[in-house]
Amino acid sequence: MKDQVAGFEEKDKEVAAVCGLYCRACSLFIASTEDPVRLERIARMFSTTPEDVACFGCRSSKRAPVCRNCDFVACAAGRGVEFCSECTEYPCAELTEFQAAKPHRAELWEDLNRIRDEGWRTWLAEVEKRYACSACGTRNSAYDLACRSCGAEPSCAYVERHGERVRRHLQK
């Protein structure tokens, strides 16, 4: 039966972005919830305060500036869907352009299809494993090439698959 994974409540959906991204693997989410030093560094990069850049997930009341006015959230709400993959126009041109722009979005189509086909709880259980360090279990972002806790490389299965693309992006 679809989406019968135990342990996830409706509140957990806050970290399941409308576009199919996994918020807990976002550098801003990690910084906001676990790493105040990282949050300070990110705030300095954007010439703002840690409070301004803090984010607790796509569906939370506290979102990062880049996510506050997300077109996908507004579009999904207007169409009465929870995820882009439930839309009759999926994948749209805007989502296709978004997916191609950054390496942390490389698996967006697979994620959205999994959400649509198996449910967000099943997807969430799977994606949490994808970003966990195989050595210590720490959750890492797609841009953490080495585990932020134990230093293992690659930091997680996502980086193992897409590390070269991430490295090229970080060198820009």
Say if residue 149 is exposed, middle or buried (CB neighbours under 10 Å; 0-12, 13-18, 19+): middle
Q: Are 143 and 166 in contact (CB under 8 A)?
A: yes
* pLDDT one digit per residue (tens) for the chain, 172 residues: 465 555 678 888 999 999 999 999 999 999 999 999 999 999 999 999 999 999 999 999 999 998 998 999 999 999 999 999 999 999 999 999 999 999 999 999 999 999 999 999 999 999 999 999 999 999 999 999 999 999 999 999 999 999 999 999 999 8
Domain range summary for the chain, segments of one domain joined by +: 12-130
Residues near 164 by Cβ (< 8 Å), separated by ≥ 6?
A: none
